[in-house]
Structure formats: C-alpha cells, structure tokens
Structure 1
Amino acid sequence: MEKLEERGHLLTEQINPNSRNLDGLTSLELVDLFNQEDAQTLAAIAKARTELAEAIDLAAESLRRGGRLFYVGAGTSGRLGVLDAAECPPTFCTPPEMVQGIIAGGATALVRSSEDLEDRKEDGAAAIAERRINELDVVVGITAGGTTPFVHGAIEAAKQRGATTIAISCVPAEQVAIHADVDIRLLTGPEILAGSTRLKAGTATKMALNILSTGVMVRQGKVYGNRMVDVAVTNRKLRDRALRILQDLTQLSRQEADRLLERSGKRVKLALLMHWSGLDAEAGDRLLERHQGNLRAALQDRTQL
C-alpha cells in the first residue's frame, strides 16, 4: 500500500493540461470542456470490455448458486456502489440481501463526508466478516485511485474466505497493484479539477456498475427481450410500466392487462407466462421455478407439462 505523500504520480491525481485555465473559462467554455473530457469515459469502458464481461459471468454464476453480490468503497466510490445496490430490488425484484453496498463509515457517510475512515484497512476486513461473506459470494472493491485501504482490506478478507473478488479502479496496474480475480481498469485520465475523482472517474465507475448489475440480472433471467419483466409493482409509476409491458407484448387492452396482472399476483413475468401458455398462476409458478425464473426457458419447456 502506498503512503499518502506518494499519491502524486497516480493518473487520477495528475494535472489535466486541458483545464489549466479552468478558473478563466466562461460558463459555456466550461461546459464544452466537460463534454470533451467526458468522452474519455466511453473509451475507458470500451477498453475494459473483456474484464467487464468476465465479471458479469462470474457474478451471475455465483448468484445462481445462491451467492450474494457486494460493492465495497469509500467516498464517491462507496456511494456509487450503494446506489447501484439500492436500485436492484425495484428494477429486478431482487431480495435486498442479494446485492448490497458497503461504504466506509456506514449509512452516515452517504450524506456526510467521512473520508478519514477510508484509511482503516481493518474496517474493510471487519465489514466482510460481519456479513459472513463466503465462497458463494462476489465482492467488488471500488477505488478510483486504487489505494484505498478500506477497499484493500475488504478484498483481502474476501479472498481469504473464498469469495470471488473484482476490483474497479481508474489507475493503471503498473501504478497500483490490486490482487483480485478480475481487475477492471477504467483509465479516464486526469480530472478537469485535479484529483476530483467524482468527475470522470466517478462517471466511468457508474457506467461500469450499470453494465455489471444489469448484465448479471439479464443472465439471471430477470429480463425478457429488453423488458423489465421482474419489475416490482410498488407504486403508480411501476404499475403503469408493468401494464405497458403486458400490453406491448400481448396486445391486450389496458383493462385486460390489469386483470391479468392481478391474477398473477402483480408479477409481470408470471402474467406473461400465464397468457402465452394458458397455465394458471400456480402451475406457471412451478414452471418458472423449474427454470430458475427464466421466462424464455419456461416458455420453451411449456409443451412438456
């Protein structure tokens, strides 16, 4: 682990020559510069495509075997992990324990700066032990600069417990080594505001987490085509989305779709299976369970009932 005074050479800490006169720019020039620099996030994601795909496959397999997915980080990195985890239950109807975010400093750090807590490597290890992480689980350590002790402690503890480990950082491997099963490097370059990794590094990290969690849920059968068929119908907006999915895929009227949704217990995936197969809710549920919730596989198998 590197000492604090030795961080200046890190890619995320370097000075961006394109923004040396940042305080002299007009507002329009500032916006244009951000737009120009943010284009590097797309290139960074593209260069990490192989590692991201590997991470999706490993995490999906772990969840299929009953494991859990954890994001671990501090500051902006931790908040991004917590955000992605929090979005999974309403989007994919996952139980809250399936995808979890761990941030240095706990819930308080989500709204109040607690950057000093990222230096406690032992706290990262303790967070892993507290959640009884095991060989079925996946731990994603997120650290833009690659050096956060809290994250390193968590990754090391997770490896000792047999968990699959994934690292996401924004510095080259030759600058900081991170010993994880999958090492994702999002090289977005120096920030417009030197060292402020909530900017390009944060944007690229959010993109990577979007890809990772969505990819895992696609592999889990939480999606049919590009439709959110496991959406949790918990408010008006999500009920409207559920009805539109049913209408679009079945050509039913809104009233018919509403009745079908109610018969399925407000489960879009089951409603679709019931409509296309003629099964009742109980039989459809059994068929989905046989195929680990994969609607397409269940539909292909329906003739065997």
Structure 2
Amino acid sequence: MPQDPHPASPVNGEQLPQHFPDERGYLLTEQVNPNSQNLDQLSALELVELFNREDAQTIAAIAAARQELAQAIERTAVSLRQGGRLFYIGAGTSGRLGVLDAAECPPTFCTPPELVQGIIAGGAGALVRSSEDLEDRAEDGAEAIAHRHITELDVVVGITAGGTTPYVHGALQAARQRGATTIFIACVPAEQVPVKADIDIRLIVGPEVLAGSTRLKSGTVTKLALNILSTGAMVQLGKVYGNRMIDVSVTNKKLHDRALRILQDLTDLNREEAGWLLERSGRSVKLALLMHWTGLSREEGDRLLAEHQGNLRQAVLSYQQTN
C-alpha cells in the first residue's frame, strides 16, 4: 500500500482536541428530566405512555434541523457522484447507529460496501460488547481517518449524542485537514459544545427519561437523521424511481419477491413475465424497467444508464427525446 500523504498526527501546527472537562453535568443529555422523576414508581402502562410522550420530541427535533439535514443530503450526493465515499464515525450507541445505516445501504441501494462505511471506536467487537472507554482517545479517531485514506472527495459524519466524544472530534479534525466535507451530529446545543464542521446538525430532544441514557431519545432521533441523510442522498443519485427501490439487491427470496412486485407495479406485466424480464436484465430492476420501456437490449440499456450516471428517469427521457 502506498504511503499515505496525510499522516495521522496533527498537521499545519494544529493539535488534536483536548479532553473535555470531567464534569459534564451542564450538557443537555446529562440533565435530569423533570417529567420522569418518579420513573421507578410507574406502572408498565404509565411507563409506555411516558416514553411515547417523550419520544414525540424526536419528530420536532428533526423538523428544527431540516435545513441542515437538507444541506447534508446535497453535499453528500455531490461527493458520491464525484467518486467520494460517506463515512459515519462514533463510539458506543452513536457508532453502532452509523454502522447499522452503512450496512443497510448495499441491500437497499445495491451500493458497493466501500461507498458508505461505519467506523466505531473499538472496531467490530464494539458492536456487541460495550467499549465506551475507547471513546476518550482523539488520536484513535484521527488514525481511523488516516487508515481509510480519506480525501477531499469524501464526507465524514461525526456522531456523538453529548457532543464531547474525543474520538469523534479527533476524526473530524483529521478529516478537515484532508479537505473532506465534515458533518457533526449531536443532541446538545451548539453553545454547550461548539465544533468546527461544514454542517452542524443539532437534534435537541431534551433530557432522557432515564437520566444520561442517550440510547433512548438521542439514539432514536439520530437513527431518524441517518435514515433521512442516506436515503435522501441515494434518491438524488437516481437509485429510486418514484418511491420504489429500483436498485434493490436481489439476494434472497424476500428481495426477489419485492423486485417482481416493483416490476409488476410499474409495468403491465404479470408475475411470470416480470420474472423472465428480471432474469434477462441480470436481476437488475432498474435495467429491467429500462429494457421494457424502451425495447433496448441489456447491453444497450447498460450503456444508456451509464451515460446518465445510473439515473433511470433521465435515461428514459433521453431515449424518448431521441427516438
């Protein structure tokens, strides 16, 4: 492997982030929720009702951050279209959520595994075993960025509910030094934890029902935000037609059935005919639709899609305008 031109150590005289103060009770995510002071005295039904009321704040938080989320979608789509990659990086619950979203992109959008990647402090083992002690090393976050040879084409999303995770701050600083687009996602106000990032997304859901347990509302709202970010970027990349996942990876019976239903819904074909078309296309729903609507061969359809960066609607429109 060629030597990385960007070392993991600080460059341009800039030092890695220092540790935040040990006393972090000032953080919104660490404060006590007045609505759940009697949590241990509630019945099961009262617990469910309380959680339901509190979880409603996640929807409001997404609405409040809609402008920043839209910017993140647009910047990410531009980067991916130019050959860049999308990285999520975090520790604990935040890291697991990033890995989960990245892992779901290949089957949903037929993307290569390297296009969207999740990085978690502690590596794969941290997905199933708590390793929160590893989040305190900013240099490990910087090393993770160096290891993946992040460039100016890439997008790096740092995820930290409380906003102070040194591992994430070290990664974002290293990514900035390499010219990557940086996005910060946290559940505390900017005035509590300021950060240098191209896009600063604050998902304010208030104190947790169980004080400090950010796997609850903070985890839920983060999952919502990542759903929107990755799906929105893939929509802009042309991996969706209408609201159908036309780049679905046909790798099991469920997804094969979904592919056939998409073809039937969008054409006048019966199930048997849809199955025949799907096989002719090499099990590509997008290509099967293009072949059906234009009469092109598999090879001709492939070429037309390539000319339009895989965007089916644009490929069909181009065919109609020239034929």
The interval holding the TM-score normalised by the smaller chain is: over 0.9
- SS where residue 5 of structure 1 aligns? coil
CA displacement 1:41-85 (0-9 Å, x = unmatched): 000000000000000000000000000000000000000000000
The match for 1:119 is: 136
The match for 1:224 is: 241
The match for 1:150 is: 167
Compute the displacement of 1:24 (Å): 0.4
Q: Do structure 1's residue 46 and structure 2's residue 63 form an aligned pair? A: yes
Size of the aligned set, in residue pairs, is 305
Whole-Å separation in 2 of the counterparts to 1:188 and 1:75: 19
The match for 2:310 is: 293
Over aligned residues, Cα RMSD in angstroms? 0.8
Q: Find 2:232's aligned residue among 203, 215, 234.
A: 215
Whole-Å separation in 2 of the counterparts to 1:5 and 1:90: 41
- SS where residue 23 of structure 2 aligns? helix
Q: Do structure 1's residue 302 and structure 2's residue 296 form an aligned pair? A: no
CA displacement 1:70-121 (0-9 Å, x = unmatched): 0000000000000000000000000000000000000000000000000000
- SS where residue 32 of structure 1 aligns? helix
The match for 1:165 is: 182
Whole-Å separation in 2 of the counterparts to 1:3 and 1:147: 6
Is the Cα contact below 8 Å between 2:19 and 2:136 reproduced in 1? no
Q: Do structure 1's residue 36 and structure 2's residue 62 form an aligned pair? A: no
Q: Find 1:73's aligned residue among 90, 102, 124.
A: 90
Compute the displacement of 1:4 (Å): 4.4
Consecutive aligned runs of 4 or more in structure 1 exceeding 2 Å deviation: 1-6
Q: Do structure 1's residue 86 and structure 2's residue 103 form an aligned pair? A: yes
Is the Cα contact below 8 Å between 2:121 and 2:135 reproduced in 1? yes
Whole-Å separation in 1 of the counterparts to 2:138 and 2:296: 54
TM-score by length of 2: 0.94
The match for 1:12 is: 29
Whole-Å separation in 2 of the counterparts to 1:251 and 1:162: 49
Is the Cα contact below 8 Å between 2:19 and 2:166 reproduced in 1? no
Q: What amino acid maps onto 1:132 in structure 2? A: H
Q: What amino acid maps onto 1:12 in structure 2? A: T
Q: Do structure 1's residue 174 and structure 2's residue 195 form an aligned pair? A: no
Whole-Å separation in 1 of the counterparts to 2:281 and 2:233: 25
Whole-Å separation in 2 of the counterparts to 1:273 and 1:220: 17
Compute the displacement of 1:3 (Å): 3.3
Whole-Å separation in 2 of the counterparts to 1:277 and 1:171: 52
- SS where residue 141 of structure 1 aligns? strand
Structure 1 runs not aligned, ≥5 long: none
Q: What amino acid maps onto 1:106 in structure 2? A: G
- SS where residue 6 of structure 1 aligns? coil
Whole-Å separation in 1 of the counterparts to 2:196 and 2:214: 22
Q: What amino acid maps onto 2:164 in structure 1? A: T
The match for 1:263 is: 280
Q: Do structure 1's residue 191 and structure 2's residue 205 form an aligned pair? A: no
Whole-Å separation in 2 of the counterparts to 1:185 and 1:19: 23
Whole-Å separation in 2 of the counterparts to 1:125 and 1:84: 22
Whole-Å separation in 2 of the counterparts to 1:168 and 1:2: 19
Structure richer in helix, relative to its length:
1
Structure 2 runs not aligned, ≥5 long: 1-17
Aligned-pair identity in percent equals 76
Whole-Å separation in 1 of the counterparts to 2:178 and 2:19: 25
Compute the displacement of 1:6 (Å): 2.3
Compute the displacement of 1:5 (Å): 2.6
